[in-house]
Chain A
Amino acid sequence: MPVAATADSHATLSPTRRLDPAAAAIELKDVSFAYDTRLILRGITMTVPRGKIVAIMGASGSGKTTILRLIGGQLRPKKGKVLVGGQSVADLEPDALYALRRKFGMLFQFGALFTDMTVFENIAFPMREHTDLPESMIRDLVLMKLNAVGLRGAAQLMPSELSGGMGRRVALARAIALDPMLVMYDEPFAGLDPISLAIVGQLIRRLNDALGITSIVVTHDVYESLKMVDYLYFVSEGKIVASGTPAEVRASSDPFVRQFVDGQPDGPVRFHYPAPPYHRALLANVE
């Protein structure tokens, strides 16, 4: 299904500027997913073009991490297809899936650094596992990656000795250790102070452009992503409710986008978890 066909399923902000599916590194076609019986994603269709940074935005629990796990082949869609370079991830044999993952980098929500290894060993880990490079070469490569995130001096620290922002940058260096074609960032900004946050944001953009990577950034930080991404998808209750370039998002009058961009507590996304009417709950004691 070409992307154009999805225009009616959600509010594409500008019908004239759609992403060209031919250049797609990643495509989700009408993907649904459920944990047991709980439907998390309902018919997600999205395209990530080669060499671009695409943001997936949505409230927590809206299924953003689930989308990344589907792309990485850790979960299989109940319906629809996840295509990476035209191949359906769920149909790959284990060997082929592992071969594909070697071309992926992923920054986990909380970094997921290996706590029993130094920063240096964390970044050397994928190299040691997947290459036969001599020790001297690994050393040079690790220092290069660390230098790219500005932490060459922290090579011998343990993950527990790093601040939140530093940990995120080390995880970033590990994600790009094997020069991946795709890097997925799961909430790279969560819990960072404004300075670290800007640093990480710039790093993602710089690495993307310098190494020719395709990037997917999952986040709920609208402000930061509007500064650095090429395209945004808004997810709510398992559906894509809006999408567009940063300029379109800023100019949009879509109520969902406005609520998200302006940070209003109530709107299409409700503040209240579904509950029976308040007055009935209050009166329940009286009866």
Chain B
Amino acid sequence: MSSEATGDLVLVLRRLGGTVTGGVARLGYMARFLGAILWYTPMALRRLHLTVREIYFSGVLSLVIILMSGLFVGMVLSLQGYEVLRRYSAQEQLGIVVALSLVKELGPVIGGLLFASRAGSAITAEIGLMKATEQLSAMEMMAVDPIARVVAPRFWAGVISMPLLAALFSAFGIFGGYLIGVRVIGIDAGAFWGQMQAGVNFWPDITNGIIKSIVFGAAVSLIAVIEGYDAKPTAEGVSSATTRTVVVSSLAILALDFVLTVFMFRGVGL
């Protein structure tokens, strides 16, 4: 092997190593940041109005996009599901198919992706701008820790909002599925709801969905607050941090969804 090729190989290996150690360091940093948030949580919860306010900003203001998307996803699901089920003469099962896909997968995942782009990006931009305009510095100089006052309430607001939004997404999705399946296609309403009631269990179907949405909410909120807190205090810095929040938290949701689903299937003995 020529020395030049060895040099290239060393360079590639070095870069690979750098990427890996960088990634691990980043994860460690995120864990420490989460630790700091948890440390200040009692302080943040004592002034609940701060968290309630953030629930309004990330949760309530995301409602429209969540509900609209849920409705449309449910309608499409119903059409596609009916088309497949009819091949096996199993149209009556449409209610189960729609409900299970929404509650176990689509509600948490699509809800989470929408939450990341609607609320996560807003949180990053807001914290980043507060940093760029020295508001966080000013808080520190007033002996108020920004993690307690700014970051922790936004984090918890995300963790609380996300499962509620995912549940509403699923509920509207099921309603959309009903509109198409029962009202348009003409499946018997009794069969639609009855099959759903019999086939969807609270444990593990619904609880799994709730667990997923809580984990996604925590992941998106953590990524959003960290990106904002670490943003370069300039206009470009804030805008690229906002983009990163959406990209990173979307990937995180999809990866976590896979991991969680694997564990949940093991749980039911698959």
A interface list, Cβ under 8 A from B: 72, 74, 98-99, 101-102, 104, 106, 108-110, 112-115, 125-126, 129-130
Contacts and interface: CB of A to CB of B under 8 A. Distances in A.
Interface in B164-202: none
Contacts of B143: 98-99, 101-102, 129-130
Contacts of A104: 141
Interface stretch (B129-137, B205-213, B240-248): B129-137
A101 B139 CA distance: 10
A214 to B, nearest CB: 16
Interface string B130-168: 100111011011111100010000000000000000000
B140 A108 contact: no
Contacts of A102: 142-143
Contacts of B138: 106, 108, 112, 114
Contacts of A74: 137, 140-141
Contact of A115 (B135, B137, B141, B142): B135
Contacts of B141: 72, 74, 101, 104, 106
Nearest to A101: B143
Given A106-B141, A115-B129, A129-B149, 4 more contacts: A98-B143, A110-B133, A112-B135, A114-B130
Nearest to A99: B143
A112 B133 contact: yes
A112 B134 contact: yes
Contacts of A72: 141
A179 to B, nearest CB: 13
A110 B137 contact: no
B135 A126 contact: no
Contacts of B134: 108-110, 112
Pick from B133, B135, B141 the residue with the most CB of A within 10 Å.
B141
A129 B142 contact: yes
